[in-house]
Chains A and B, each alone.
Chain A
Amino acid sequence: MSTNKQRINAVAATAVIVLAGGWFASLVPSADASDTGYAKPDNIAPASPVAKLQKTLAEQVGASQMGKHANVPSGETIKVSIDGIRSNRGKIYVALFDDAKAFNSHDYGRAVGFKELQARTGSMETNFPDLDIKAYAISIFHDENGNQSFDMLDGYPAEGYGMSRANSAYDELKFHQARVKPGSVDIRLHYLQ
């Protein structure tokens, strides 16, 4: 029979092991974020007609950092459907991340895929082909005034924005909450102003 002191010690030890375990697991480096597995740039001829149309609009921004590690891609595709675009003005920027820190800090320079689309009212689609089977997160914004930056006003977004797996305009998702696997992803743009 255990004494109460034993029980309390056991519970305390358990709490420490569980928390330390979770913390330790979060420190485990992700192999593909550090040295391998960057998604290849999508300069390969896209398969679908929709993607062909968009290929002319799409421009690879972070291409320089991507050619470095030629990993054998498993040919998975993320098809992004963007809804709720309110105007034809400006560009829609779609960034694909595989790194939690880059996504959480909105560091578009470290995105592994990047699309610049001419905005069209309503909905649009774009593809990120030749990806690995793993978790990605997507961040989108609508640069209506064409100044190539995401404008804020009084601490709130002044331009339309969206993220994978966000349910409302006020969802501020971290990478692990926004992560999606290759397949179809629907993202709604939100405009606060």
Chain B
Amino acid sequence: MNFLFESINPSWVEYWDVILNDWFFVGALIFLTLEFIRYRMKGRLGSDIVGDTITNYITLAMFIGINLLVLSGLYYLFVYGSQDFALFDIDTNLATIAICIIIADLLYYWEHRCMHRFNFAWATHSVHHSSPHFNISVAYRFGPMDGLWPIFGTVVMVLLGFHPIIVAFAEIVVQLYQTALHTEMVKKLPRPVELIFNTPSHHRVHHGSNPEYLDTNYGGIFILWDRLFGTFAEEKTPVVYGLVKPINSNNPLVAFFHGIYRVAKNVIMAKGWRNKAGYFFGPPEFEPVKTTNHQSSN
């Protein structure tokens, strides 16, 4: 069991990051081909799915551009700033990497839950949910600020004492695990797996706009968090993918910016600071309060 505790140089892990990410991307393209063959066999392959898929990859390109130009500097600043305040002295080995992945997954659960429940974050995450289809290319559909929100979890883990490269690795593992769930080709996995782990079935539910499926199954690798924290839903009725208010467009710019546009419009048009705040900080289903009621204390 000694190999579990053998120290690993973080710069090797940095190399795994790149290898994992890149080969996963190639693997996903091959898998996408299989999914297209399935669409074709079911007679569902049309210009809409092709356009949607192209849009997915264009949003990915814009997402990467924003990450490199704007967000990487922010991460550098915060990560290297908080490294000096680490709480614990944590070595880098397979055992501590495994612990880091579990923590990263739990923090991802909260990041993801917040991205669904606060309008200002939903503005960017709703891009990912705006596709009415469900295949592995949708996993690569990102919003403009999707790269920003993981920073809180990243800083928490660096403050705990995990090496920043290990934290990045753990986050990539969680992200890639989720990427693989974006498919209709896998129906249900064996019961123990469905009980503990997030699966394509659980994640289809997460992408559903059916009322009973809204705001459920936020988990990354483990669905246990949802079961524990009361946000779990089982796949029963067929899932209707996409947003409650669909965007009805395959234009990459519409897809990429619709969320920010909707929130900005709501905030600007709303009357009174209470409604403006509600449209910005409130949940997606926020409705403005009637302004005729003057019986409040002030």
A residues whose Cβ falls under 8 Å from a Cβ of B: 1-2, 6, 10-11, 13-14, 17-19, 21-26, 28-33, 36-37, 100, 104, 132-135, 174-177, 181
Q: Complex Cα distance A29/B88, Å?
A: 13
Within 8 A of A (CB), among B100-150: 100, 102-103, 106-107, 110
Interface status of B282 (Cβ within 8 A of chain A): no
Q: Which residue on B lies nearest to A21, using beta carbons?
A: B103
Residue contact B106 to A10, C-beta cutoff 8 Å: no
Contact (Cβ within 8 A) B7 A26 = no
Option from A1, A26, A29 in Cβ contact (under 8 Å) with B5: A29
A32 to B86, CA, bound (A): 22
Let me know if B228 and A10 touch, CB within 8 A: yes
Segment at the A interface, from B24-32, B46-54, B91-99: B91-99
Contact B110 A176 (CB under 8 A): no
Contact yes or no, B106 A17, CB < 8 A: yes
Q: Could you list 7 examples of A-B contacts with CB < 8 Å?
A: A6-B229, A18-B107, A22-B90, A25-B160, A28-B90, A28-B99, A181-B10
Q: A37 — which chain B residues lie within 8 A by C-beta?
A: 7
With A22-B161, A176-B89, A177-B83 given, is the CB distance from A14 to B95 under 8 Å? Answer: no
Q: A25 and B5 in contact (CB under 8 A), knowing A18-B156, A176-B86? A: no
B225-236 interface code vs A (CB 8 A; 1 in, 0 out): 000111100000
Q: Which residues of B contact A22 (CB under 8 A)?
A: 87-88, 90, 103, 157, 160-162
A123 to chain B, nearest CB (A): 26
A32 to B6 CA separation, bound complex (whole angstroms): 6
Complex: chain A residue closest to B159, CB-CB? A22
* Chain B stretch 39-93: residues in CB contact (< 8 A) with chain A: 83-84, 86-93
- Min CB–CB distance A149 → chain B (angstroms): 27
Q: A22-B162, A30-B91 given as contacts; is B230 within 8 A of A10 (CB)?
A: yes
- Let me know if B99 and A133 touch, CB within 8 A: no
Q: Give chain A nearest CB distance to B7 CB in angstroms.
A: 4
Complex-state Cα separation, A32 to B10, whole angstroms: 16
**B161 & A25 in contact (Cβ 8 Å cutoff):** yes
Q: From residue A80, how far is it (CB to closest CB) to chain B in Å? A: 18
Contacts of A28 in B (CB 8 A): 5, 90-91, 93, 95-96, 99
Counting CB contacts under 8 A, is B273 at the interface? no
A17: which of B2, B103, B215 is its contact (CB, 8 Å)?
Answer: B103
Q: In whole angstroms, how far apart are the Cα atoms of A1 and B285 in the complex?
A: 13
Q: Is B248's beta carbon under 8 Å from chain A?
A: no
Contact of B229 among A10, A21, A181 (CB under 8 A): A10
Could you say which residues of chain A place their CB within 8 Å of the CB of B88?
22-23, 25-26
User: 15 additional contacts, CB 8 Å, given A24-B99, A135-B92?
Assistant: A2-B230, A6-B230, A18-B106, A18-B107, A21-B102, A22-B160, A22-B162, A25-B95, A25-B161, A28-B99, A31-B93, A37-B7, A135-B10, A176-B163, A181-B10
